[in-house]
Structure 1
Amino acid sequence: MSNVLPMVWRGSCPLGLRTCSRLLPATNLRNSILSQQVTYSSTLSSFTHYVQHSQKWRQAPSTWHTRTAIESPATIFRRSANTDAKPETPTERGITLDRQPLSASEMKKIFGSSKVTVETGNRILSLLQGRRFAGTLDMPFPPDITKAVRPKTIEKGLHWLRENYSMDEDAAIMARIEREEKEEEERLYRQVQQLGPQSGHWGARLGEGEDIYGESIIKKNLKQNEARLLAEEEKARQEWLESELKEQEKMQSHIKKNTQLQKYTEAAVVEARPRADPKERPFLAWAQKHYLRAENTNTDFNTISTAGRILPALGVTLLTLGLCYIYADTYVPPNNSTRMWPDIPPAAATVFAIIGVNVAVYCLWKIPPAWRLLNRYFISVPLYPYALSVVGSVFSHQQFKHLATNTLILWLIGSRLHDEIQRGNFLAVYLSAGVFGSITSLTAHVLLGKLTITSLGASGAIAGLVGSWCMLHADHKLVPSFLPHEWREYVAVNGSTVLAGIVAFEILSLISPFKVAKLDHWAHLGGYFAGAVWATLYKSKLEKEKRRRREARGWLDRFAPSS
């Protein structure tokens, strides 16, 4: 009886066998039951005493008495067998107490609450009593009880039974262990008998490779498990291949139900189809599964109102603008010795950091498991918008050409603007202009009913940098540095004129029926506007500071002592 050996380690613990985690499964219910500090009439402090006690109980069950003369576990199971009932009957149905059914007032005294009904309370008590006899208090309770009452209520019922119906629960657990060991031995014996003689003589069945020791049970079980796993894999493969038709029917149903989806092209509806066979093209099948997992096709998009699509994103936009203002107003440039890259100019370090974030998100678009996250927070979809996507889409690119173009403009304009307004203002302009461009694009597409147009990229943020640069130099002559000197006098224009020309080009491209490229002009216009407004306010702030310094200098000159 090797299963009983762990009981030697329990020492003089007052909880007896119920505190031994090596013997019984540590279920939540058992832990709550075992937490009850109950003093037994007979505490077994050693293995020898326990065995003697259990032998005494087996030899003379009539000497095991309780307050109500409850029968021993052996008698219970023997009586159950005589009535054609399974041995688990006391565990599942419980044992009726001599005072059942108890009244509602008694239930309140036992459980401390009037919420426990008479029927539920009597069922809990009978089930607990049956499990005490069967030694199965560690087993989970039926759902109808766990849903109706809390674990503490069951503990109160067990505590009441132990005070009024005392019994040796350790002996019941011992009997259960012996019973389970005997059943396991009988099962193994029957399994060996089915294999036949294992000596290799008298026509006995030999093992694999003429093994005289007969067939290996371990190898047999291993083969059965391998066959089962292969069957499950093949079943999953067939379900994946056959799910294409179901997916098409599902999509067609959504198209009929959601009028906005009717604007999808047929190619977009059947994208990632036909299904790739996992055996022949495993990588493509893996990518298709993540693609379908990332698609949001279970939502009834008609239930989302116009306000529901715009207002959450607008709230995130206002919060971002406020945080950018606080950051720019409180930012203090670090000393060169405390910088991460002290040998790199601050403008280059800032621009490189932004480029690094954009490149990282671009690489994530190449990893199928990341598509679900990216579809939620790194691309703006008016059909089912996520509020945080107005921020994430500013750093998101799916095509290398798009990323390279924005990176080049960011380097050319950003490094110069950074040196002029410093890092705090630069980052605030970049993020706030990008988010404002995203909300402008989302609002315009929702109001115009173009809900299936998606948008992403740093173009809105870069447009904000361009707008800021032009407005800071609104009265200055801007000349491309790559032109010869003799040409610069004829092509030089001030910054405000340059910005007006760029905005005019964006508006003409927006209303033109001929689309040269798929550009989000609304996001660009929102970025230009945000950058121009910031530059105007920034120049006004600088003018006020200069005026204040001049006035302060004038007051100092007025009261300065004459020589």
Structure 2
Amino acid sequence: MSNVFCVAWRVSCPGLRSLSMSPSNAIPLRSACRDLRTSLPSWYSNYTGRRPFGSLMPFTPSTRHLLLVGLNSLSSVAILSRPFSSTRFLSSESTPPVEHGVQLRSEPFSTDEINAIFGKAKVSPAVGNRVLAVLQGRREAGTLDLDLPEDITHSVRKLSLDTALKFLRANYPLDEDAAILARIEREEADEEQKLIRRAEELGLYKPQSGTYGAERGEKDDPSGKSALLELRKRNEARILEQEEKKRQAWLEGEQQDLEVLKQQAEKNKALQTIDNTAALEARPRADPQQRPLLAWIQKHHLRGTDNDVDVSQMTNARRIIPSLAIALLTIGLAYVFAQNYESPLKQDRMFPETPPAAATAMAIIGLNLCVYLLWKVPPAWRMLNRHFIIVNAWPRATSMIGSVFSHQTFKHFALNMSLLWFIGTRLHDDIGRGNFIALYMAAGALGSFTSLAAHTLLLKDLAATSLGASGAMSSLVAAWCMLHSNDKLTIFFLPREWQETFSAPGWLVLAGFIAFEAVSMVTPFSAAKFDHYAHLGGYLTGTVWALACKADQKKRREERSWWEKIVSSD
């Protein structure tokens, strides 16, 4: 082991620096040396001072082992338990090469400079320049612990060597500790290369066949079987097995659905009298491997259907009363809104350049369009079936409002929104936004409740469902016709010469719509199914509201004329 430890006896050791070759939390070598000196026996205290390099004592095996144990216990630096390659120069079997060191500058130091550096010691310029060059080379190489060349130790005293080293550290500073660590790593690499070359000479790194007694991997891979590949195969097999179990359970669930529907039919006597037997039939299930999209849609359809509801446990009172409460609450809130709404100024509106009627209509159309698009997304069916469609067998009260904005077909959506745009905007201009929104919401809720009550109490049709803004649209038509009951209404897109012929008073137009609904209820004239009771509820709401509005307007006109008469008489 080289005497790396002895460099700690130099003056003012600054400690190890945090370099790429050493850990950032390395213990300073000076601190390690100080701690080690306190733990050494007293017989070694003579060697713990600043020792000149010319008289370094060769370490015996016992002292070398002692220093190694001390350094390892302090964890100051990593020191290998083998001699550094530099120690081979101490052997008598080889002659060390001449050490020239590192020249400090291009021109050698003069006699005066050498005398100033070494002081009273008489050192020739040639010897002085050689001493400085060799010491500087040792500092950069991290080999200050090795014995100096014999020509230097025989011609220069120990005190002069210390003086020269002080001069170099003061005028040519460098990180000697880092140089020591670099030397350690360098000699470790050299030893490792020696071991590798020795192993190659012995044939340890020669190519092996890999066939004798070895188990090959896939495609005759000489690397053997891959544990990761085996784990991946097991996971894939497990996933495929789980998917196959789910597939079989899905396909076998068709028969289970049929049994559930039969049990419901036996429990619910009201469902047995329904002509629409399709509601009691299980749908064939698609194979997820052959038709994955259809199977995915069917799964969400079943998830959105409440097959576990026992209709026999729900009375008509439980169906009607919560929905009636929501309808009455909506009507009350609509009345409060109409009485307290104040139209914002033009500069305060979100779209100042858009007419208020058009802005209101577009907002309602946008809400209906969003719900219509959600019906095209299977994961949303569960939420829509609960709150945006009225199921007479087990209705939810929130569907009284949600169904007003819900359409499943584009034809239904386009028809209602067209009425909203062409008739609703005109009515909006006559009555204002507050009254228009209040009428729309109140009529929608009342139309939905009328449909539920009629199908539940009158028709006993619990399998029927209803949705759409038809009730609200009917109220807008009725209110427009009654507000213009004595005005002749016509179809606006007809030629002007035909409009006079195809025109009628508003009350007569409304009567025609109501008669059409009544006839359709008795003798359906088309294959399309209309929720006539929701339409009638909307017509009733719009008519009552229009009559109340006209009565209020008449009262205000009488009060205004009476006040004008009083003012004129004064």
User: 1:341-391, CA deviations, whole angstroms, 9 ceiling, x for partnerless residues?
Assistant: 222211111111111111111111111111111111111111111111111
1:477 deviation in Å?
Answer: 2.5
Q: Does 1:337 align with 2:316?
A: no
Q: Does 1:407 align with 2:417?
A: yes
- 2:426 is matched with which residue? 416
1:213 deviation in Å?
Answer: 5.0
1:554 deviation in Å?
Answer: 3.5
- 1:257 is matched with which residue? 267
What code does the residue aligned with 1:311 have? I
Q: Does 1:226 align with 2:236?
A: yes
Sort the Cα spacing of 1:495 and 1:325 in 2 relative to 1 into closer, same or farther, 3 A. Answer: same
Q: Distance in 2 between matches of 1:264 and 1:289?
A: 27
Sort the Cα spacing of 1:514 and 1:404 in 2 relative to 1 into closer, same or farther, 3 A. Answer: closer
Q: Does 1:540 align with 2:555?
A: no
- 1:354 is matched with which residue? 364
1:514 deviation in Å?
Answer: 5.3
Q: Distance in 1 between matches of 2:333 and 2:493?
A: 38
Q: Does 1:396 align with 2:394?
A: no
Identity %: 51
Q: Distance in 2 between matches of 1:396 and 1:471?
A: 27
User: 1:387-435, CA deviations, whole angstroms, 9 ceiling, x for partnerless residues?
Assistant: 1111111111111111111122221111111111111111111111111
- 2:537 is matched with which residue? 526
The question of whether the paired residues in 2 share the 8 Å contact of 1:200 and 1:214 is answered with no
Q: Distance in 2 between matches of 1:484 and 1:221?
A: 79
Give secondary structure in 1 for the equivalent of 2:542. Answer: helix
Q: Distance in 2 between matches of 1:523 and 1:381?
A: 14
Q: Distance in 2 between matches of 1:241 and 1:519?
A: 36
What code does the residue aligned with 1:525 have? L
Q: Distance in 2 between matches of 1:557 and 1:513?
A: 61
Give secondary structure in 1 for the equivalent of 2:225. Answer: coil
What code does the residue aligned with 1:469 have? W
The question of whether the paired residues in 2 share the 8 Å contact of 1:382 and 1:453 is answered with yes
Q: Distance in 1 between matches of 2:275 and 2:288?
A: 28
Pairs within 5 Å for 1:307-326:
307-326=317-336
- 2:285 is matched with which residue? 275
Q: Distance in 2 between matches of 1:228 and 1:489?
A: 78
The question of whether the paired residues in 2 share the 8 Å contact of 1:471 and 1:535 is answered with yes
Q: 1:474 aligns with which of 475, 482, 485?
A: 485
Give secondary structure in 2 for the equivalent of 1:218. Answer: helix
Q: Distance in 2 between matches of 1:436 and 1:332?
A: 25
Report how many residues are paired: 361
- After TM superposition, the structure 1 stretch with the greater mean CA deviation from structure 2, 543-552 or 420-429, is 543-552
- After TM superposition, the structure 1 stretch with the greater mean CA deviation from structure 2, 461-470 or 257-266, is 257-266
Sort the Cα spacing of 1:230 and 1:490 in 2 relative to 1 into closer, same or farther, 3 A. Answer: closer
1:248 deviation in Å?
Answer: 1.1
Give secondary structure in 2 for the equivalent of 1:478. Answer: strand
What code does the residue aligned with 1:465 have? L
Q: Does 1:240 align with 2:256?
A: no
1:551 deviation in Å?
Answer: 3.3
1:515 deviation in Å?
Answer: 5.2
The question of whether the paired residues in 1 share the 8 Å contact of 2:424 and 2:476 is answered with yes
Q: Distance in 2 between matches of 1:490 and 1:203?
A: 106
Sort the Cα spacing of 1:203 and 1:532 in 2 relative to 1 into closer, same or farther, 3 A. Answer: same
1:464 deviation in Å?
Answer: 0.3
1:227 deviation in Å?
Answer: 1.2
User: 1:81-108, CA deviations, whole angstroms, 9 ceiling, x for partnerless residues?
Assistant: xxxxxxxxxxxxxxxxxxxxxxxxxxxx
Q: Does 1:457 align with 2:459?
A: no
Sort the Cα spacing of 1:210 and 1:476 in 2 relative to 1 into closer, same or farther, 3 A. Answer: same
The question of whether the paired residues in 1 share the 8 Å contact of 2:455 and 2:461 is answered with yes
Q: Distance in 2 between matches of 1:269 and 1:372?
A: 19
What code does the residue aligned with 2:306 have? N
Q: Distance in 1 between matches of 2:310 and 2:285?
A: 25
Sort the Cα spacing of 1:491 and 1:228 in 2 relative to 1 into closer, same or farther, 3 A. Answer: closer
Pairs within 5 Å for 1:187-226:
200=210, 202-226=212-236
Sort the Cα spacing of 1:556 and 1:228 in 2 relative to 1 into closer, same or farther, 3 A. Answer: same
User: 1:181-215, CA deviations, whole angstroms, 9 ceiling, x for partnerless residues?
Assistant: xxxxxxxxxxxxxxxxxx95651323445555543
- 1:73 is matched with which residue? none
TM-score w.r.t. structure 1 length? 0.61
The question of whether the paired residues in 1 share the 8 Å contact of 2:265 and 2:280 is answered with no
Pairs within 5 Å for 1:23-172:
none
Q: Which structure 1 residue ranges, 4+ long, deviate > 6 Å from structure 2?
A: none
RMSD: 2.2
The question of whether the paired residues in 1 share the 8 Å contact of 2:361 and 2:425 is answered with yes
Q: Distance in 1 between matches of 2:245 and 2:494?
A: 68
- 2:171 is matched with which residue? none
What code does the residue aligned with 1:444 have? A
Q: Distance in 2 between matches of 1:466 and 1:265?
A: 32
Q: Distance in 1 between matches of 2:256 and 2:499?
A: 65
Q: 2:444 aligns with which of 422, 434, 443?
A: 434
The question of whether the paired residues in 1 share the 8 Å contact of 2:279 and 2:463 is answered with no
1:479 deviation in Å?
Answer: 3.0
The question of whether the paired residues in 2 share the 8 Å contact of 1:264 and 1:452 is answered with no
Q: Distance in 2 between matches of 1:335 and 1:550?
A: 30
Sort the Cα spacing of 1:435 and 1:220 in 2 relative to 1 into closer, same or farther, 3 A. Answer: same
Q: Distance in 1 between matches of 2:539 and 2:525?
A: 23
1:485 deviation in Å?
Answer: 5.0
Give secondary structure in 1 for the equivalent of 2:390. Answer: coil
Q: Distance in 1 between matches of 2:500 and 2:353?
A: 37
- 2:513 is matched with which residue? 502
Sort the Cα spacing of 1:484 and 1:288 in 2 relative to 1 into closer, same or farther, 3 A. Answer: closer
Sort the Cα spacing of 1:206 and 1:516 in 2 relative to 1 into closer, same or farther, 3 A. Answer: closer
Q: Does 1:550 align with 2:557?
A: no
Give secondary structure in 1 for the equivalent of 2:432. Answer: helix
TM-score w.r.t. structure 2 length? 0.60
Larger radius of gyration: 2
- 2:162 is matched with which residue? none
User: 1:484-512, CA deviations, whole angstroms, 9 ceiling, x for partnerless residues?
Assistant: 55555555432122212211221121122
Sort the Cα spacing of 1:232 and 1:339 in 2 relative to 1 into closer, same or farther, 3 A. Answer: same
What code does the residue aligned with 1:415 have? T
Q: 1:302 aligns with which of 312, 325, 332?
A: 312
What code does the residue aligned with 2:449 have? I
Q: Distance in 2 between matches of 1:501 and 1:480?
A: 14
